[in-house]
Amino acid sequence: MRDIVIFLLIVGSIPFILRRPFIGVLVWCWISYMVPHRMGWGFIQTLPVAAIIGMVLLVSYLFSKEPKRIPFSSPIIFLLLFNIWMFITFIMNVKDAYAISQFEKIMTIQFFTLVILALLTSRQRIEQALWVVALSITFYGVKGGIYTIMTAGGGRVWGPTGGFFFGNNELALTLLIIIPILFYLRYLVPANQRWLKLGFLAAMGLCVLAALGTQSRGGLVACVCVGFFLWLKGPNKLAIALAIILATPVVYQFMPDRWHDRMETIIEPDRESYDTSVQGRFNSWEMAFNMAKHRPFGGGLNGFKREHFYLYAPEPNRIHDSHSIYFQIMGHHGFIGFFLWLAIYFSSWRSAKHTITLSGKREDLQWAALLAKMLQCSLIAYATGGAFLGLAYFDLPYHLVITIVALQLVVKKQLAAEKRQQSSARTNSAIIKVQLGGNYD
């Protein structure tokens, strides 16, 4: 029954997508982040729903009157350069079955990221996409938070099967990325809908509990950083500070001893004191760095394999995944790819900062300033939590980038339109004065 309901929802959306391409963007985001077809038990699990919706979206988009160009701001320029470099490193390295499948998957994500950017042409569309993305992920945060409470923190929380964030570490990072977005969406709720505002607070709290319930050490580091930047960037600093101060000891005491024992291993006195998991990460990080020094094109999308560890790792027999977005990119694409990839996020941060400056103290643009700040908080979550797991190709961070770019474009358009109106008004005023002066003479 569940398979049929999900199937009917997906198929039923197709006529609406053909009529309005942006509905396709919303359905694509829903499928990408909620992975609803993986909740079924039968045929829906293996049905290529993402490919079907993607094709319908492209057909609708190509035959629509929607704009067919993307804004070439600095984050997008670096994103395009990074994609070109990924193509070069793919050509220059061994193209085994795994590398080919990964390349196809990554390029599909990158392509649809740019299509979505082209369609994020207004505040309404930006916010609609954020609603779908945030609520799709929050579903797992609420579910995981309730599970954490029911098990008194003893059960480990996992993400949806088949998605980017199935693993406990990946889920923790994803939830912490989305919490600042929930903070912004709560701001959109009218003041008279107090129950809905309280519901958002409860959802955010459950997402934090779920992130902690994953027992991810990187998740705890990201949680601390996100909390600090939410206080730094958000309004009502006193209220945020009080909430953090009051909630922290309660949550800390609630978690079981096993959780405390694991979190205490985040910082050890020396390298030898870390557990085998962390030791393996250190080894793979050094391997990636050494490989990037010797191979300008990196090791390719299957760079963390046995022969590369034999050549470049301090401990050749300790084979381990990258477990870091930074060393994942460095190992796959070398230092050139690494710096191009970093430039995407540094330029995105600067673009968000520029939007905050443009919005200034204007009441009508406070929404844009707050959203830009919350997107910066989400980037902080990705930058800190991602240091300990390999999610460099996850589509959510790229969605943050294009949202920052689209937001800046919307603000600039509004300011430019107002400037034109003011200029036109001054011109009309000058003409009237000249005409009145001529009549007087």
Task: Read off the pLDDT band of 184 (50, 70, 90).
Answer: very high
Average pLDDT over residues 323-347: 96
**pLDDT tens readout for residues 387-409:** 988 899 999 999 999 999 999 99
**pLDDT tens readout for residues 6-39:** 889 999 999 999 999 999 999 999 999 998 888 8
The pLDDT value given to residue 250: 86
Q: Is 104 exposed, middle or buried (0-12, 13-18, 19+ CB in 10 A)?
A: exposed
**pLDDT tens readout for residues 36-95:** 888 877 788 888 898 999 999 999 999 999 988 898 899 999 999 999 999 999 999 989
What's 82-144 look like in SS3?
HHHHHHHHHHHCCCCHHHHHHHHHHHHHHHHHHHHHHHCCCHHHHHHHHHHHHHHHHHHHHHH
Rounded alpha-carbon distances, angstroms, from residue 210 to 141, 183, 184: 6, 17, 20
**pLDDT tens readout for residues 277-329:** 788 888 999 999 999 999 999 999 999 999 999 999 999 988 888 889 999 99
The pLDDT value given to residue 437: 66
Q: How far apart are CA 253 and CA 335, in angstroms?
A: 43
Q: What is the pTM of this model?
A: 0.92
**pLDDT tens readout for residues 94-135:** 899 999 999 999 999 999 999 999 999 999 999 999 999 999
The pLDDT value given to residue 440: 47
Please check whether residue 206 is in contact with residue 146, taking contact to mean a CB–CB distance below 8 angstroms. Answer: yes
| Percent of the residues in the chain that have a pLDDT greater than 90, as a whole number | 64
Is the pLDDT at 432 greater than 80, yes or no?
Answer: no
**pLDDT tens readout for residues 144-170:** 999 999 998 888 899 888 778 888 889
Q: Is 186 exposed, middle or buried (0-12, 13-18, 19+ CB in 10 A)?
A: middle
Q: How far apart are CA 221 and CA 236, in angstroms?
A: 24
The pLDDT value given to residue 200: 93
Q: How big is the CA angle at 133 (ends 231 and 412), to the nearest 5 degrees?
A: 70
Task: Read off the pLDDT band of 438 (50, 70, 90).
Answer: low
The pLDDT value given to residue 137: 95
**pLDDT tens readout for residues 205-255:** 999 999 999 988 888 899 999 999 999 888 888 888 888 888 888 888 888
**pLDDT tens readout for residues 357-379:** 999 878 889 999 999 999 999 99
Q: How far apart are CA 368 and CA 360, in angstroms?
A: 10
The pLDDT value given to residue 249: 87
The pLDDT value given to residue 149: 93
Q: What is the DSSP string of 278-320?
A: HHHHHHHHHHHHHHHHH-TT-S-TT-SSHHHHHHH-SSTT---
